[in-house]
Structure 1
Amino acid sequence: MFAYAVGRAGREHADDVVAETFLVAWRRLADVPANPLPWLLGVARNVVHERYRDQVRQSALAAEMRAWVREAEEDVAEHVTDRAAVLLALAALGDADREILTLTAWHGLAARDAARVVGCSTATFFVRLHRARKRLQDALGVDRQTSSARLAKEYTR
């Protein structure tokens, strides 16, 4: 399994691919055939493909965020620097944090509706939103005493 993972995903990702493959096998133990190697290799192949798709999606999203930053830098409006800083900080966040922040701030969804989009309860969404805002503040280098409302206003420009 490890040799296959190294050959398909590289040494730096092989451990993760093998671990994920065996996690799938454990969850689907009833589906594992008597001769498990071909089945496990198929699962590992799917894991590698999924990781590649995720990487491509992340790269496309990062490119889009960089394009927004370039637009902000070319903009001659009075708050260009603030906008560029917020966009850079937003681009530095993980996919889940970006999604939560943009669902509420840019798309204007209520917490209940945004929670439905990401597939969690409203209470869980509020916790995730709080943590995402905190990470955005850290990425911006903003004092923790700064209110979330000010941040929301900043990155909706």
Structure 2
Amino acid sequence: MSKHESDAARFTAIFEQFGRRVYAYARRHSDPAIADDVTAETFLVAWRRLGDVPSDPLPWLLVVARNTLANHRRTVARHERLRQELAGLERLAAPSPAVDGTVLERSAMLRALAALTELEREAVLLVAWDGLSRSSAAQVAGCSERSFAVRLHRARKRLDRLSDSSESPDDLLTLLEEIS
């Protein structure tokens, strides 16, 4: 028997005896697809370094599997950091709205809120700005839920009329969606 044949026979015996145990170890530490890859990589290392594999190969194989898993986790972490950095750069590189457009939208939004009665404005702001539910907003406003619903309904109708005008800002449309 040649050296290559004896190496192949030894490797085959190691794989047949310990392949499932290496996979089980990898599976306990990862999902099935990654466990398959880790098992394959572990036995690739075993084949390449067959001369270094001790007579009791399981601990050695599990160390290789553990190191392979650690390498995989580091790769995933690097990719995630890179993805986050790229997302941050995209946000920084994204065109920002023109200052005059923002000022005009805010001005129109403030005019729309000023067109509401004080009670309607409070109702809109409690729901849209403070993020309260209608029930909680009614408590803050010191009225029944029914009264609050009427205030909010009237405010929405008034804002609807304002949004029908040609100068309705995007913020006003967003506000209408939030109080719906």
How high is the TM-score relative to the length of structure 1?
0.47
The structure having more radius of gyration, on CA atoms, is: 2
How high is the TM-score relative to the length of structure 2?
0.41
